[in-house]
Amino acid sequence: MAAAATDTTMAPQAGAPGTTMLDIAGLNVSYPVYEEEPVRAVRDLDLSVRRGEIVGLVGESGSGKTTLARAVMGLLTQPGRIDSGSIQFDGKDMRALSENQLRAIRGRDIAMVIPNPRSELDPLIPVGKQIAAVARAHLDIGRAEADKMALDMLKAVHIPDPARRFRAFPHELSGGMAQRVVMAISLVCSPKFVISDDATSGLDVTVQAQVLDLLRTLVREHDTSMLFITRDVGITAHFCDRVAVIYRGEIVEFAKTGDFFDNPQHPYSVMLLAAFAHNPALRNKWHKPLASTEAEAGRACLYAPRCVHREDECDARHPDLRELGTRHLVRCHFPVERVA
Ligand SMILES: Nc1ncnc2c1ncn2[C@@H]1O[C@H](COP(=O)(O)OP(=O)(O)OP(=O)(O)O)[C@@H](O)[C@H]1O
Ligand code: SF4
Ligand SMILES: [Mg+2]
C-alpha cells in the first residue's frame, strides 16, 4: 500500500483530521528458532489507520496479529525481532525511538486492551488506585486530580456503584467488570490510538457484546483511532470502518467494511465469511481441509494448500497485494468474482 505510506509523508500536520495515525510499511517480524528456519510471523506487511478510524484485523490463531500489535508498541516478546520495515505513528518513526521515548508513548498516546484482565491488574491494589496511577505516570497531575479522573473513568465504563468499586480489589470484580477496569486503564489518558487484541475473547457472549459496544462508543466519542484485532470476522461487520484479513503474517485483503462484506474477493476471506453463514452448502464449497501430505511450505501463494480456487500459477508466483476496486486490496491471482 504505497499510497498510504505517501499519505503520511505528505501529511501537513500529524494528527489532523483525515491524516494517517498509524502507517506500517513493508514490515517483517520473525522469531528465530534453534537450528531451524525462523518463524516469519509478519511478512511484508502494509497497513494504515487514519485518525478516528477503526480498522479490524481478522485472522486465525497464529496468523501474526499479536506479533504485529506488539511490534507497533515496541514490545515484541523474546526472541521476536523486526527484520525490516517502518512503523510511523502520529508522524513519528517508532523504530527510531529510544526505550524511554517508547515508554512515554505507551499508555499515553497508544494503549492496548488485551484479554485476561486479571493478569493485567495488581491483586494487592484497589482498582481505582491502579487507574489513577496510570494517569499520574503520564500526565502532570496530582493525586486528587488523578483519583477524580479514575472515578470518572469507572463511570465512563459503566461500572455500577463506581465510588465503592474504586476501592475494590480485582478479585472482588466479575470478569466483565475487570475487563472494564482494564479498558479504563487503557483509556484514562485519552490515547490517540488503541489496539484491542482479542480483548473480549474470555467473556460470555452477552457481556462481550456490552463491553464491545462500550469500547466502540468511547473510542468514537474521543475521535480515537483503533486497531481492532479479532479471530471473529462477524464482529467486524458493525464495529469497524475497514477490515484487513491476515493469513500467515500477510495481509490478503483490505477494504472498507461494506465492500468487504458485500464483495469479498480473497478465497480465504470468503471461507471465513462462509464459516459464519447458516448455509452448510456454502461452507463446504469454500472449505478445503489441509491434506496431511500437503505441506504448507514451498508454495508461492501461502494460501494455496487450502484454496479451492488454486491454479498452477498459484504455486509458481507469489501474488502481490493489488487494488481491485476503490481502495479494495486483494492478494490473489484469481480473486473471487461472486460468492454463491
Ligand atoms: N515468543 C514467541 N516465540 C516464538 N514464536 C512465537 C512467539 N510468539 C508468537 N510466535 C509465533 O508467531 C506466529 C504468530 O503468532 P501470534 O501470537 O502473533 O498470532 P496471533 O494471530 O496473535 O494468534 P492468536 O489468535 O492465537 O492470538 C505463530 O506461528 C507463533 O507460534
Ligand atoms: S493466488 Fe491462487 S491459491 Fe492463492 S488465494 Fe488466490 S486463487 Fe487461491
Ligand atoms: Mg494473539
Indicate whether 176 and 206 sit together in one domain.
no
The residue among 127, 115, 116, 114 whose CA lies nearest residue 153 is 127
326 within a domain of the structure (yes/no)? yes
Q: Contact at 8 Å (CB) between 245 and 232? A: no
Ligand 1, pocket-test mutation among 65, 72, 247, most atoms within 8 A of CB = 65
Side chain identity at residue 224, one-letter code? T
Indicate whether 221 and 271 sit together in one domain.
yes
Give the model's pLDDT for residue 115: 81
Which of the listed residues 157, 190, 223 is the one where a domain comes to its end? 190
How many domains does the chain contain in total?
2
Indicate whether 139 and 201 sit together in one domain.
no
Side chain identity at residue 123, one-letter code? P
Which of the listed residues 163, 190, 217 is the one where a domain comes to its end? 190
**CATH number, domain at 15?**
3.40.50.300
Give the model's pLDDT for residue 138: 94
Side chain identity at residue 323, one-letter code? E
Indicate whether 178 and 231 sit together in one domain.
no
Decide whether any atom of ligand 1 lies within 6 Å of the 61 Cβ: yes
Give the model's pLDDT for residue 12: 39
Domain boundaries, position 322? 2-109+191-330
Give the model's pLDDT for residue 18: 67
Helices 127-138 & 175-187 angle (0-180, nearest 10): 20
67 within a domain of the structure (yes/no)? yes
* Burial tier of 18 (Cβ tally within 10 Å: 0-12, 13-18, 19+): exposed
Indicate whether 204 and 299 sit together in one domain.
yes
> Could you list the pLDDT tens digit for every one of the 340 residues in the chain?
333 333 333 333 444 556 999 999 999 999 999 999 999 999 999 999 999 999 999 999 999 999 999 999 999 999 999 999 999 999 999 999 999 999 999 989 999 998 877 888 999 999 999 999 999 999 999 999 999 999 999 999 999 999 999 999 999 999 889 999 999 999 999 999 999 999 888 778 888 888 889 999 999 998 899 999 999 999 999 899 999 999 999 999 999 999 999 999 999 999 999 988 777 777 788 887 765 445 555 569 999 999 999 999 999 999 999 999 889 999 999 999 876 6
Give the model's pLDDT for residue 160: 94
Decide whether any atom of ligand 1 lies within 6 Å of the 62 Cβ: yes
Distances in Å between the alpha carbon of 255 and those of 48, 192, 222, 272, 323? 11, 23, 24, 15, 10
244 within a domain of the structure (yes/no)? yes
Indicate whether 19 and 144 sit together in one domain.
no
Closest Cα to atom 31 of ligand 1: 62
Indicate whether 38 and 129 sit together in one domain.
no
Residue 133: alpha-carbon gap to chain centroid: 26
Which of the listed residues 169, 190, 211 is the one where a domain comes to its end? 190
For residue 237, give the C-alpha cell: 461487520
Give the model's pLDDT for residue 299: 65
Bridge-partner residues for 197, per DSSP?
Answer: 229
Ligand whose nearest atom lies closest to the CA of 61: 1
Please tell me the pTM assigned to this model. 0.91
Residues with CB under 6 A from ligand 2: 267, 301, 303-304, 307, 309-310, 314, 319, 332-334
The residue among 217, 215, 221 whose CA lies nearest residue 203 is 215
Decide whether any atom of ligand 1 lies within 6 Å of the 64 Cβ: yes
Indicate whether 30 and 168 sit together in one domain.
no
Residue 305: alpha-carbon gap to chain centroid: 26
Indicate whether 70 and 196 sit together in one domain.
yes
State the closest ligand 1 atom to the C-alpha of 246, by its place in the atom list counted from 1: 21
Bridge-partner residues for 29, per DSSP?
Answer: 42, 82
Indicate whether 157 and 246 sit together in one domain.
no
